[in-house]
Amino acid sequence: MTMPQILIVDDEQSVRDFLSILFQREGYQVTIAPDAEAALAAVAGKEDFDAVITDVRMPGMSGLELLAELKHRHPDLPVIMVTAFASPDDAVQAMRNGAFDYITKPFNVDELRKAVKTAAAKRKKGTAPKAIDEFSGIIGSSSEMLKIFDLIQRVAPTPASVLIYGESGTGKELIAKAIHNLSNVANKPFVPINCSAIPESLMESELFGHIKGSFTGAVADKSGLFEQAHTGTLFLDEIGELNLSIQTKLLRVLQEREIVPVGSTRTKKVDVRIISATNRDLEEEVMEKRFREDLFYRLAVVPLRMPPLRERKGDVPILVDYFLKKYAKLMGKEVQTVSSYGLEVLMKYNFPGNVRELENIIERGVALESSNIVLPESLILSRKEQKNNLDSQGTRKEALFIGARDEAELFDRGLEESIARMEKKMIMYAIEAAEGSKIRAADLLKISFRSLRYKVKKYEID
């Protein structure tokens, strides 16, 4: 088997030596270059490199200039940028110019090793990564997302059931649509349902349909989502919210490939591919007897984990650029970019609401901005909002006392009442920060959706 070949470009001898030893031990054939000019000469003399690792700041031609020249001469050659001087502007420019990844020093060795391995594998397949991938609107060029794109391409043509794990706002439905669009039934129906949005009493009718007179309000026959998705794909979002009774009926459908509408005794054959998604740990749910083990294995033939945005920060600059152009066009504004400091703020933010939150931040920023550049004050972040809410009500001490005028009033209330008031306020802040979405609010509070629903009812929160 031919050894994969990589080119390492860095003006520091110690870095070149370290990376050379590291990747030689990993089984790579390594060529080193002290500057961009030497790198270009090496590539010109040997055009079968599988990946290039280059520093950003070097004497003479910079790493960004080298990237542009390499992509001009060899568009399919993956280039990984490494720098000790992380700059949001550099990150944006690198991703726009087609960098495979952008890693800051001191780098995580495993992260760099994975990036190189993925880049080399893509190069061998002859499928160079794009700065912005065009999978049903999914944006990303980080090594984490390239793995997702590769898995989508491999699983899409098969009939295998796919279970997508991921926090709210990571784009699970976009992944499901991408799998459907690349499948052999792309011209057939794609039918989504959010299992947490349908009352338990109506879920069976929604999925399997009902006949006239089967229950109060059933004034006519109605086909269910399985029938609507026949020969196509049914996407069951938040599958973990289904109760055990519906899980049992769903398992039977998956086993028998037939449904029984509510109120009927006749079965109907259905041919449906199932893609499901959850923000829960379903294996833990199985262990706690809240989710059927046999159904779990039916759904998770191919498990796919969608990483949260905080784990793929390299995608933030190109996502910002994408959403900026989208909303500038929609709103008819001449906004062209986010300020360097504004982008730096976003790069340091952990995005509890993930890509959906970033999109909302940029949409608000474009709406609020009157110039052609989005400034930091136009970028409203959830945590910043919560901090401002606390600060606007008084000092940190007043916030700690949960609205009490002094210590005496706090102690007059007692521990249980004070904790209850604090819990109610935290829930209200979380729902406000989540813009009314209780599912996202539960994620912010790190509790289950059912726990949040119970507490909202308990504290009579509107």
pLDDT digit of tens for each residue in the chain (462 aa)?
467 889 999 998 988 888 998 898 888 889 999 999 999 988 886 657 889 999 988 888 888 889 988 888 887 888 888 887 666 666 667 766 778 777 877 777 887 888 888 778 766 655 444 444 445 568 887 878 888 888 888 898 888 999 999 999 999 999 999 999 988 898 999 999 999 888 888 888 888 887 776 776 776 778 889 999 999 999 999 999 999 999 999 999 998 899 888 877 788 898 999 999 999 999 999 999 999 999 999 999 999 999 999 998 888 988 998 899 899 999 998 888 888 778 888 888 889 999 999 999 999 989 988 777 887 777 877 654 444 443 444 333 333 334 444 445 555 667 777 778 778 878 887 887 776 777 778 877 878 877 888 888 888 887
Angle at 52 between CA 47 and CA 54, to 5 degrees: 135
Is residue 52 classed exposed, middle or buried when 0-12, 13-18 and 19+ CB atoms within 10 A define those classes? buried
CA distance 63 to 61: 7
Q: Which CATH architecture describes the domain 143-305?
A: 3-Layer(aba) Sandwich (3.40)
Establish whether domains 5-125 and 143-305 are of one fold: yes
In the chain, where the domains are located? 5-125, 143-305, 309-378, 394-458
Report residue 33 as tokens.
């270059």
Place of tokens 């989504």: 192
Domain 5-125 has CATH 3.40.50.2300: yes
In the numeric block, the tokens 């901090």 are attached to: 387
- Which residues neighbour 144 within 8 Å (Cβ) at sequence distance 6 or greater? 307, 311, 312
CATH 1.10.8.60 fits 309-378, yes or no: yes
